[in-house]
Amino acid sequence: MAAMLAGKQASGGARVLVIYSEREETPKNISEMFGESVQLIKVDMSSLKGKLISFFIVRKLLKSFGVSVVILHSSFAGFIGRISSLLIGSEFRLFYIPHCISFMRKDAGQFKKTIFLFLEWVAALKRCTYLACSESERKIIQAYIPFRECRLVENAVEMPPVVSVETSKRAKTVMTVGGIRPQKGPREYAEIARAFSTIMPDVEFVWIGDGDPELKKVLVDAGVRVTGWLERSEVCEQLRLAGVYVSTAHWEGMPVSVIEAMYSQLPVVASRCAGNVDVVKHEDNGWLFDLPAEACERIENLFRDPGLAEQTAKRAYADACTRFTPERYFQTMSDIMQPSTL
């Protein structure tokens, strides 16, 4: 979304500077994603030393470029950006998009969550507007940080033109996309795959992505085909030809991969967690589940009833085309960034 927004702003004549750091899953063609009109500055934040130095580098860049608007993407960037901008004399408006705020995590104990919240309060000394990507995230931010404004800007997805594939011609494949980490529920996905192998042995389970070696082994041992990270064009093609999309996430801000599946006219079966419940309307444009056994039942129904799968996928596609468009996202962001709204 950062690339989509920056490109749109630059095409409108604005001078856009993007400060970024690379991670393992950072696309190799990142400069192509932003385009020539966007200036990219890479700052190393991979080591502890790099993280500490980045505060001073970001502060220097903010002062030297005379920016008027700063948009911070992700929790780490949000912390560095706000702390770095404390006591800077120049006037600029600050917007912070956590993309799933840190204290929504369910893999952290209460002590760790308290630390996350404390750091958010420290960073919130710098006046900024929070932009939540889902209603679930907005509610939790507003509950824990009531002294800062929080607005809702739902995620958007820019997809290539979809070539429709009849349900009967789709592969007997269950698919998910994302990093292999606790948040995405790889153990639950493996449990569903293992259980489903006795229901419909000819259905293949696929995980597009990579990550934790131990969790990856859990998936492979359950018969899941793990592809590793693929180029986005390959992911879109895989989704277009799959049979069912399954999300086993434990929490989300707002799941882009689920929206991409909806754009791909793929029926979605998703865990009932924050983020997923903001996208999937149960028994309308998809299904929500609490237990792996429920997911197995939903998946089986979709493979045995192609008509049901097709009708659900069409409703999901219609929702995606009206609710999660780049045009809607740009307009909402433009309205919020108007000085009169602050």
For the ranges 20-24, 36-40, 145-149, 240-244, which has the lowest average pLDDT? 20-24
Q: How confident is the model at residue 168 (pLDDT cuts 50, 70, 90)?
A: low
Q: Looking at the domain assignment, is residue 143 inside a domain?
A: yes
Q: How confident is the model at residue 206 (pLDDT cuts 50, 70, 90)?
A: very high
pLDDT in tens, 73-97: 988 889 999 999 988 866 789 999 9
212 with 111, same domain: the answer is no
Q: Looking at the domain assignment, is residue 161 inside a domain?
A: no
Residue 251 sits in which domain range?
167-323
**Average pLDDT of span 185-212:** 97
216 with 330, same domain: the answer is no
126 with 187, same domain: the answer is no
**Average pLDDT of span 28-48:** 84
Q: Output the average pLDDT for the chain.
A: 91
**Average pLDDT of span 189-204:** 97
176 with 267, same domain: the answer is yes
293 with 175, same domain: the answer is yes
CATH number of the domain that residue 26 is part of: 3.40.50.2000
Q: How confident is the model at residue 139 (pLDDT cuts 50, 70, 90)?
A: very high
* pLDDT over 80 at 114, yes or no: yes
207 with 140, same domain: the answer is no
pLDDT in tens, 242-301: 999 999 999 999 999 999 999 999 999 999 999 999 999 999 999 999 999 999 999 999
**Average pLDDT of span 55-71:** 90
182 with 313, same domain: the answer is yes
Residues facing residue 286 across a β-bridge: 282
132 with 181, same domain: the answer is no
**Average pLDDT of span 31-35:** 80
* pLDDT over 60 at 341, yes or no: no
Residue scoring higher pLDDT (211 or 13)? 211
**Average pLDDT of span 105-124:** 90
Q: Looking at the domain assignment, is residue 318 inside a domain?
A: yes
pLDDT in tens, 119-131: 999 999 999 999 9
103 with 85, same domain: the answer is yes
Say if residues 256 and 247 touch (Cβ distance below 8 Å).
no
* pLDDT over 70 at 190, yes or no: yes
178 with 308, same domain: the answer is yes
**How many domains would you assign to the chain?**
2
Q: Looking at the domain assignment, is residue 265 inside a domain?
A: yes
Q: What is the pLDDT of residue 222?
A: 98
136 with 69, same domain: the answer is yes
Q: Looking at the domain assignment, is residue 162 inside a domain?
A: no
120 with 221, same domain: the answer is no
For the ranges 111-115, 169-173, 239-243, which has the lowest average pLDDT? 169-173
